Amino acid sequence: MKTIATDKSHGGTQGVYVERSEACDCDMTFAVFVPPQAAAGNLPVLWYLSGLTCTHANVMDKGEYRRLAAELGLIIVCPDTSPRGDHVPDEADNWQFGKGAGFYVDATQPPYSANYRMYSYIVDELPQLLAAEFPVDMDRQGIFGHSMGGHGAITIALKNPDRFGSCSAFAPISHPSVSGWSKPAFLKYLGADEKTWRAYDTCSLIEDGHRFPELLVDQGTADSFLEDGLRPDELRQACEAADINLRLRMQEGYGHSYFFISTFMEDHLRWHAQRLGR
């Protein structure tokens, strides 16, 4: 791990780091905020997964999480959204696929299977590095994210309920197997057999028996991706059928941007802190 930058903020440290990822076969950049309470011992860790076209920097620059994370004593980890590098296959003119659009899956189709292993990177590789290099209590982990990252957060929590004590999302892609902006990516990453897509689809995972105790989801009513891309009503229906406690808040007049995310960031941080024992 190499340190790119560190800056003091609200008594803690906002850092940006890079590691050579075996899962993604490239250098991966990520951000970690460590609050001042870490001087006294290990702290809970909250993973934030970003959306399409984003890097680690979007939420770091615009998410407005540091003040309250410092107050609550939460470590915030912000990974990148895809592999990077000249050797990584991409569709440069397609913002819904390739670099910046890893969808938190492990691709099975060449040439993407060599690099696009974001599920393994987030679930296996980066946590090992985090545990070795930062003052984290790995028994107290939460996960949340936005849009594509909300999809990633909920699917990862559903498949790893013993690891995560809390999960929430801002405007998640709830049913990517049928959504217009994710179905083409699933086809290229995972192949034509749509049964394999179910492992990375929130609604399908719930239908197939995966469970998480409770979810907090905020969704703007003025979000231009609401009906086709995000499909919160389908998430509601899936959770009701499975008796999952979903708190779905439709936020009047809000869109899909970080103006929306930063407005409700405090609510999400407090949600996680309560469930992680802070």
Query: Which residues belong to the active site?
Result: 147, 223, 256
- DSSP string spanning 168-199? EEES--S-TTT-TTTHHHHHHHH-S-GGGGGG
Counted residue by residue, the chain has a size of 278
2-9 and 12-21: which strand pairing?
antiparallel
What is the C-alpha to C-alpha distance for residues 228 and 75, in angstroms, rounded to an integer?
34
Place of tokens 């800056």: 7
**Terminal-to-terminal C-alpha distance of the chain:** 29
Backbone angles phi, psi at 175, to 5 degrees: -140, 65
Residue 75, phi-psi category: left (phi > 0), alpha (psi -120 to 50), beta (remainder): beta
Q: What is the amino acid identity at position 203?
A: C
Residue 199, beta-bridge partner list: none
Eight-state DSSP code of residue 123: I
Structural tokens at position 40: 């006294």
